[in-house]
C-alpha cells in the first residue's frame, strides 16, 4: 500500500473515498486527476500547499502540509 500522509488521509475522510478526493481536488485546482493521484502516492508538493488548503475548503491547511514535509525530511 502506498504511503499516505495525514493530509491525504484527511482529504479521503472529508470527501468519502480516495477516488472522490482525487476528483474534487483535481477539479478545484484545475489539474489532471493523475497529477493529484501521484500526490497521494508521493506526497503533496509544498508548492501546492496553499492551493490544497483552498481546494479542500480548509480541511487540510498549508501549515499542516509544511509540518508533515518537515517531519519527513
Taking the C-alpha atoms of residue 52 and residue 19, their distance in angstroms, rounded to an integer, is: 16
Taking the C-alpha atoms of residue 64 and residue 61, their distance in angstroms, rounded to an integer, is: 5
Predicted confidence (pLDDT) per residue in 22-49, tens digit: 999 999 999 999 999 999 988 899 999 9
Q: Please tell me the predicted confidence (pLDDT) of residue 5.
A: 58
Helices 18-29 and 6-15, interaxial angle, to 10°?
100
**Confidence band (pLDDT; 50, 70, 90) for 1?**
very low
Q: Please tell me the predicted confidence (pLDDT) of residue 70.
A: 87
Q: Please tell me the predicted confidence (pLDDT) of residue 3.
A: 47
Report the predicted TM-score, pTM, of the whole model to 2 decimal places: 0.83
Triad 51, 53, 59: Cα angle to 5°? 150
Taking the C-alpha atoms of residue 63 and residue 33, their distance in angstroms, rounded to an integer, is: 24
* Cβ–Cβ under 8 Å, residues 3 and 41: yes
Amino acid at each position: 500500500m502506498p504511503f499516505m500522509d495525514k493530509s491525504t488521509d484527511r482529504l479521503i475522510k472529508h470527501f468519502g473515498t480516495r477516488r472522490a478526493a482525487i476528483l474534487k481536488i483535481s477539479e478545484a485546482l484545475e489539474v489532471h486527476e493523475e497529477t493529484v493521484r501521484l500526490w497521494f502516492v508521493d506526497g503533496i508538493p509544498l508548492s501546492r500547499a496553499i492551493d490544497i488548503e483552498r481546494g479542500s475548503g480548509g480541511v487540510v491547511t498549508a501549515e499542516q502540509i509544511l509540518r508533515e514535509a518537515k517531519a519527513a525530511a
